[in-house]
Amino acid sequence: MFPQVFSIFLSFFFIFLYSCEGALLEGIYCGKENCYDVLQVTRDSPKTEIAKNYRKLAKQYHPDLHREKEAKSVAEEQFKALANAYEILRDDESRADYDYMLDNPEEYYAHYYRYYRRRVAPKVDVRIVLLVTISIISIVQYYSAWQRYDSAITYFSTIPKYRNKAQDIAKQEGLLPDNSKKGGKKQKMSKEDVELIIKKVIENKMDIKGAYAKPKVSDVIWIQLIILPYTIVRYVYWYLSWFWRHTVLKQPYSDEEKLYIVRKYLKMGQHQFDSQEDEKLQEFLDKELWIKANFEKWFSEQEELAKKQLAESNRYKQYRRYMKNHGVSRMTFDDS
């Protein structure tokens, strides 16, 4: 039994060697034909000679020059073989891979890999695609930031607290007529002009923080990538400085550093924390919430207060009453 299996194995092995010996593999490049032979050139032929022979043979085997069905079919196959061979040999990198296959027939699987890697690989440089993608993302990011900022300005202009303050500033600066003065001639302005002035005052006089802050070019991803090395160096320097001043030297925290610790305890992002009112930030400092024990006590009190306010909410009472009477999975319709 063993001699028979061994003889079969040797047969397949020698067949494999024979197929590789000619260095012509089925399914890649020109198949079992030599691309140089197809174009009737040699491996030393320059690109000009290859192009010249291709044009001559392509003209000879062009399907439109043959009228008989059989001759036309043969010409089509030959014309495809010529075009394929020329496509391989006209490109320097593709030709180098083909020559490497002829010189190294034993690297069977490597030849398939090189061939299909080049065929499947995108024609456009990946670096260009990456640059264009980052540029588009940066443009969309900057445009979206301005959209959010305009929405915030419009929202603040509808809140009486900010609207009245903006109107007072506009009257003081002469941007809006002050019709409250007696004896003066009342001036009229269109509603659109008044709204435009109020928004302009809010935009110039108010410091909007957080995610709706005024967009900066330095915030877009392109600029962030460019300054990334500087950002990393700055962070490492900050971390080492923090460790040295507060862990080794035991120096007290500044107000900014205290708020940084509180922000970490609250698990807030920088934009979200920046949107907090100044009174709220001062409360954090007054209660010394950068101290872990003080923060945990204050946080528990805030949770209890939130639960109490929720329990006293009319909407929450209605919800609990509904759940008690109807349950989770029941749906009723009240026609009254």
CATH code, domain with 21 = 1.10.287.110
Do the Cβ atoms of 107 and 89 come closer than 8 Å?
no
Range 176-181, long-range pairs (CB < 8 A, 24+ positions): none
Do the Cβ atoms of 168 and 228 come closer than 8 Å?
no
- The CA distance from 274 to 209, in Å, is 6
Q: pLDDT for 186-236, tens place per residue?
A: 667 778 888 888 888 888 776 666 656 778 888 899 999 999 999 999 999
Q: In this structure, are 59 and 89 located in the same domain?
A: yes
pLDDT tier, 150 (very low <50, low <70, confident <90, very high otherwise) = confident
Q: In this structure, are 103 and 153 located in the same domain?
A: no
Q: For residue 336, is it within any domain? A: no
Q: In this structure, are 310 and 231 located in the same domain?
A: yes
Q: For residue 95, is it within any domain? A: yes
Q: In this structure, are 111 and 133 located in the same domain?
A: no
pLDDT tier, 67 (very low <50, low <70, confident <90, very high otherwise) = confident
pLDDT at 76 over 70: yes
Mean pLDDT of the chain: 80
- The CA distance from 254 to 238, in Å, is 14
Boundary of a domain, candidates 203, 221, 239: 221
- The CA distance from 97 to 83, in Å, is 18
Q: In this structure, are 297 and 213 located in the same domain?
A: no
Q: For residue 333, is it within any domain? A: no
3-state class (DSSP) for residue 4: helix
Number of domains composing the chain: 3
Q: pLDDT higher for 167 or 206? A: 167
Q: Is 176 exposed, middle or buried (0-12, 13-18, 19+ CB in 10 A)?
A: buried
Q: pLDDT > 90: what percent of the chain?
A: 25
Boundary of a domain, candidates 71, 103, 120: 120
Beta carbons within 10 angstroms of residue 279's beta carbon:
7
Q: For residue 335, is it within any domain? A: no
Q: In this structure, are 212 and 311 located in the same domain?
A: no
Least confident of 7-16, 19-28, 45-54, 267-276: 7-16
Do the Cβ atoms of 308 and 302 come closer than 8 Å?
no
Q: For residue 332, is it within any domain? A: no
Boundary of a domain, candidates 200, 221, 242: 221
Q: In this structure, are 69 and 135 located in the same domain?
A: no
- Cα Rg of the chain, angstroms: 39
Identity of the amino acid at 68: E
Q: In this structure, are 185 and 229 located in the same domain?
A: no
**Residue 20 has what pLDDT?**
45
**Residue 25 has what pLDDT?**
66
- The CA distance from 82 to 323, in Å, is 79
Q: For residue 66, is it within any domain? A: yes
Do the Cβ atoms of 121 and 104 come closer than 8 Å?
no
All residues at 6 or more sequence positions from 311 whose CB lies less than 8 Å from its CB, including other chains: 317
Q: In this structure, are 49 and 116 located in the same domain?
A: yes
pLDDT at 13 over 70: no
Q: In this structure, are 86 and 179 located in the same domain?
A: no
Q: In this structure, are 229 and 319 located in the same domain?
A: yes
- The CA distance from 196 to 154, in Å, is 10
Structural domain of 318? 225-326
Beta carbons within 10 angstroms of residue 321's beta carbon:
10
Q: pLDDT for 232-251, tens place per residue?
A: 999 999 999 999 999 999 99
Q: For residue 334, is it within any domain? A: no
Q: In this structure, are 107 and 140 located in the same domain?
A: no
**Residue labelled with tokens 């092995």:** 13
Helix residue ranges per DSSP H, the chain? 2-21, 35-38, 47-60, 69-90, 92-103, 108-120, 126-156, 160-172, 191-205, 221-226, 228-242, 255-266, 270-274, 278-286, 292-311, 314-326
Q: pLDDT for 81-116, tens place per residue?
A: 999 889 889 888 888 888 888 888 777 778 777 777
Do the Cβ atoms of 44 and 88 come closer than 8 Å?
no
Q: For residue 4, is it within any domain? A: no
